[in-house]
Amino acid sequence: MNRLVIGIGALLFVLAAALSSFFTVHQTQQVLVTQFGQPVRVITQAGLHMKLPFVQAVIAFDARLLDYEAPGEEVILTDQRRLIVDSFTRYRITDPLVFFQTVGQAEIGIRGRLSSIVSSSLRRVLANEPLLSVLSAERARAMGEIRRQVNEEARRFGIEVVDVRIRRADLPDANTQAILARMQSEREKVAREARAEGAEVAARIRAQADRDRTVLLAEAEGQANILRGTGEQEAIGIFAESFNRNPEFFQFWRTMQAYREVFGSGEARMVLTPDSDFFRYLRAMPELPHAR
């Protein structure tokens, strides 16, 4: 009977030892094997593995990407503006041994350290950035610098910081209205300066246009006078040449032009004697001269 009990006990011990010797590593895990509390080896490959029963223990760490959301805090920018900044950090455990030695086996232990690191880096970097940079596309550059600094400090804990982002950036309630009023005043000042510069440029353009117009009109008038004088000179020369060729016909032609201008409308009134020289060609129609 005693032998049977001893045999059953030995069998149970061997079975328990065998079951304690095997453990499974999941695909989302990485394992640190310790012996009497001292780290022995790190296992990152998923599958079935062995350890010494009752002597060695297995501590599992998450191999996936982890998130940490930092509480909102107030930072002062380079232009002395204040912002309430909420940030989040994505990280993963890359060295379980270092993580275990510096933080412990609980992942929650890294959150306090990350909070301090991220807060310090946010304050250092944003202290050199103006408000417009934080609220515009230039924020990506600042966040890249913050991520680099946080990652360098976090490596000593066996983790890799993949990303640090500002989730929300708000003005403190007490300063919001004052800052908005100051920003509006600055924008209005810039607008006034732009309008003044525009008015000055417009005045210069109008003055130049008026000057150019005056010059063009003067030049055109001078050219017109020159052409008009040349035309009158040529007309006088033509009349003089015509008169010299046939004075009698020229005088007859000029008289006919006068008849057409006087009697053409049919409404002209003239007070002349019938024997006036103006009617000499009308009185002597049969004796009209012929052009030579």
Label each residue of 89-126 as H, E or C: EEEEECCHHHHHHHCCCCCCHHHHHHHHHHHHHHHHHH
- For residues 82 and 74, is the Cβ–Cβ distance under 8 A? yes
Contact 83, 134 (CB under 8 A): yes
**Beta carbons within 10 angstroms of residue 167's beta carbon:** 11
Q: Is the domain 66-170 a CATH 3.30.479.30 member?
A: yes
Q: What is the full per-residue pLDDT of the chain (292 aa) written as tens digits?
A: 566 667 666 666 656 556 677 888 888 889 888 888 788 888 888 888 888 777 778 888 888 889 888 888 888 888 777 788 888 899 999 899 888 888 888 878 888 888 889 889 988 888 888 877 777 777 888 888 989 999 999 999 999 999 998 888 777 766 666 667 777 888 898 999 999 999 999 999 999 998 989 899 888 988 998 998 888 888 888 877 777 777 777 777 777 777 777 766 666 666 667 666 666 666 665 544 544 4
3-state secondary structure of 288: coil
Residue 175, pLDDT score: 62
Q: Which tokens sit at 103? A: 């933080």
Q: Looking at residue 291, what is its pLDDT?
A: 41
3-state SS, 148-189, equals HHHHHHHHHHCEEEEEEEEEEEECCHHHHHHHHHHHHHHHHH
| C-beta separation of 83 from 132 below 8 A | no
- What are the boundaries of each domain within the chain? 20-64, 66-170, 246-292
Q: Which residue has the tokens 């940079």?
A: 133
Structure tokens at 276: 């006036």
Contact 151, 160 (CB under 8 A): yes
In whole angstroms, give the CA distance from residue 59 to residue 202. 78
Distance CA 226, CA 230 (A): 6
Contact 292, 249 (CB under 8 A): yes
Alpha-carbon gap, residue 60 to 24, rounded angstroms: 10
Q: What is the DSSP-derived secondary structure letter of residue 137?
A: T
Helix (H, G, I), strand (E, B) or coil at 222: helix
Burial label, 157 (beta-carbon count in 10 A; 0-12, 13-18, 19+): buried
pLDDT of 266: 65
Per-residue burial over 46-62, b = 16 or more CB atoms within 10 Å of its CB, e = otherwise: eeebebeeeebbebbbe
* Contact predicate 163/90, CB 8 Å: yes
CA 115 to chain centroid: 33
